[in-house]
Amino acid sequence: MEYGIGGTIAAISTAAGEAGIGIVRLSGPDAIGITGRMFRGPRGGGLPANSHSVVYGHVVDPRSGEIIDEVLVTVFRAPRSYTREDVVEIGCHGGLAAVRGVLQAALRAGARAALPGEFTARAFLNGRLDLSQAEAVLDLVRSKTGRAAAAALAQLQGGLSGKVRRVREDLLDVVAWIEAGIDFPDEVGDPPGDELAKQIGAAALEIGRLLNSAGSGRILREGIRVALAGRPNVGKSSLMNALLRMERAIVTDVPGTTRDTIEEGANILGFPVTLVDMAGLRDTRDAVEAAGVARARGEIEAADVVVIVLDDSAGLGDEDRRAIDNARRAPGVRVVAVNKVDLGAGALARVDLEGLCGASRAVRVSARTGENIGALEEAIVAAAGGTGSSGGSLAQVVVTNARHAAALERAAAALDEAESGVKSGLPVDLASTALRDAVDALGEITGDTAGEEIIDRIFREFCVGK
Ligand code: GDP
């Protein structure tokens, strides 16, 4: 295991860049001693004796004594800290030079540079968080919409682990019951089959409920990539603006607006969405434009949902049919937006567009008036496998992580095997083996049975300082 090496670690815990304040964090048995060697309080005072208290002072170079920055230092004594070790947070000025200077001083005073996610890894290894809670820390930091953040917070607070643990413990009881019967056939005997089937069925039901949330959950965490496809002038850019304006919240940074594709982050019904509009595909005889067309194809290929935009005032032309053909070749789910219905032309009103485009839905909209944009949003979210209704409580437990969903699937399959074995009167020790598989799969979610490799892989995804 990469994590779990001891020592006192230090890292910059705030984002790089110009900011009012920055924080350098230390954790480990010598965190307080190391900070003491680089800190000067007012009138030469030292660090506070009490846990959870803050003191003002200066960080100095532990060798030269030169002042590096003016700081506030917070001391958290073990075990009442994020990692359950002694933790010190040094709040300094937010510029790169200041935070790097403070980190440098900590390293000179005896700390080691932390690995990515090592603070959270220690919280996990010291039993303060289980694995799914540790993963939620990363999800929360990365959340781009309120709904995604709420799901991560519920997971951090143990919502998912609590449910998984309860099912796992119930199954362990069943296993113990079966095994007692095997070990003591005369005193205990085999549990009655119908009672076993009932208990296994109850566990399977709970796991099924969690798995039901995984469709929405996955896209809450990973987002939906939506490409707008269609010939020039059908209103793709206008539609993109209408979708952006609906929520007024541009939640992701814009990773480069190129000549021929425009990408914007949007919040659609609480789901983080990347909208991609392919502009400037007019003259395909031009070599540069040909490259643009190739890129647009790539974007359509990469999208989870392709919105085929058509113009209700113009009907279907050759260019529209070409756009539809292109979209049909891509793996994403298709939705049709029949735009410009405000003009009342109705040229596409009687065409079976779902059939023609192989689309999950066709929605008649107007980018100009905003008519039916809400229905288009719902169609996009549903096509990506989510439920648009925001009726559910935000604090609801949702399975957002593909690793958790895969473990739940394995547990469900094992329970299925156990249940059908019991019902068809197979020897109960077979059921007990399948139940143990289910117990192990559930334990991977909380980390009770996760191997070192899984653990390393999870924490390596974090950035330094988390
Ligand atoms: P794109 O080339 O597909 O991106 O299309 P644009 O968004 O640039 O729109 C092309 C033209 O159609 C512009 O003149 C828009 O004002 C107009 N347009 C777009 N959407 C609508 C709509 O819903 N109703 C009407 N009446 N005009 C629209």
Task: Report the interhelical angle of 236-247 vs 373-383 (nearest 10°).
Answer: 90
Task: Please report, rounded to a whole number, the percentage of residues in the chain having pLDDT higher than 70.
Answer: 92
pLDDT at residue 67 tops 90? yes
367 Cα nearest atom in ligand 1: 23
End-to-end Cα distance, the chain: 18
* Range in 308-312, 340-344, 422-426 the model is least confident about: 422-426
Start-end of H helices in 109-226: 118-125, 131-142, 146-156, 159-183, 193-212, 214-222
Quickly count helices (H) and strands (E) in the chain.
16, 13
Nearest CA to ligand 1 atom 2: 233
φ/ψ of residue 225, rounded to 5 = -100, 120
From ligand 1's centre to the CA of 251, what distance in Å?
25
pLDDT at residue 257 tops 50? no
231 Cα nearest atom in ligand 1: 3
Rounded mean pLDDT of the chain?
A: 89
Question: Of the residues 233, 307, 312, which should be mutated to test ligand 1's pocket, given the most ligand atoms within 8 Å of the CB?
Answer: 233
From ligand 1's centre to the CA of 305, what distance in Å?
21
pLDDT at residue 258 tops 50? no
Nearest CA to ligand 1 atom 7: 235
- Closest among 401, 396, 361 to 381, alpha carbons compared: 361
Q: E strand or H helix at 428, and its extent? A: helix 428-446
Nearest CA to ligand 1 atom 6: 235
From ligand 1's centre to the CA of 359, what distance in Å?
22
Distance CA 223, CA 146 (A): 13
Ligand 1 neighbours, Cβ below 6 Å, are: 230, 232-238, 339-340, 342-343, 366-368
Task: Please report, rounded to a whole number, the percentage of residues in the chain having pLDDT higher than 90.
Answer: 68
339 Cα nearest atom in ligand 1: 23
From ligand 1's centre to the CA of 120, what distance in Å?
49
146 contacts 251 by C-beta, under 8 angstroms: no
Distance CA 180, CA 177 (A): 5
φ/ψ of residue 312, rounded to 5 = -70, -15
**pLDDT value of residue 37:** 96
From ligand 1's centre to the CA of 368, what distance in Å?
8
Average pLDDT estimate for 92-120: 96
**pLDDT value of residue 368:** 92
- Please, which residues bridge with residue 113 across strands? 10
Which amino acid is it at 286?
D
DSSP for 68-134?
A: EEEEEEEEE-TTSSSSSS-EEEEEEESSHHHHHHHHHHHHHTT-EEPPBTHHHHHHHHTTSS-HHHH
Per-residue pLDDT of 274-330, as tens digits, reads 999 875 444 455 666 667 677 778 889 999 999 999 999 999 999 999 999 999 999
Q: What's the pLDDT band for 255 if we cut at 50, 70, 90? A: very low
pLDDT at residue 99 tops 60? yes
Nearest CA to ligand 1 atom 9: 235
**pLDDT value of residue 281:** 47
369 Cα nearest atom in ligand 1: 23
For residue 409, count CB atoms less than 10 angstroms from its CB and return exposed for 0-12, middle for 13-18, buried for 19 or more.
middle
Average pLDDT estimate for 66-80: 97
pLDDT at residue 249 tops 50? no
Cis peptide leading into 79, omega within 30 of 0? yes
Buried b (16+ CB within 10 A) or exposed e, 370-401: ebbbeebbbbbbbbbbbbbeeeeeeeebbbbb
Q: In the numeric block, which tokens belong to residue 10?
A: 């230090």
φ/ψ of residue 231, rounded to 5 = -70, 165
- Closest among 398, 175, 169 to 270, alpha carbons compared: 398
Question: Of the residues 228, 236, 238, 364, which should be mutated to test ligand 1's pocket, given the most ligand atoms within 8 Å of the CB?
Answer: 238
Average pLDDT estimate for 417-432: 90
From ligand 1's centre to the CA of 233, what distance in Å?
6
Per-residue pLDDT of 353-412, as tens digits, reads 999 999 999 999 999 999 999 999 999 999 998 875 544 454 578 899 999 999 999 999
pLDDT at residue 217 tops 70? yes
**pLDDT value of residue 360:** 95
φ/ψ of residue 457, rounded to 5 = -60, -40
234 Cα nearest atom in ligand 1: 3
From ligand 1's centre to the CA of 17, what distance in Å?
40
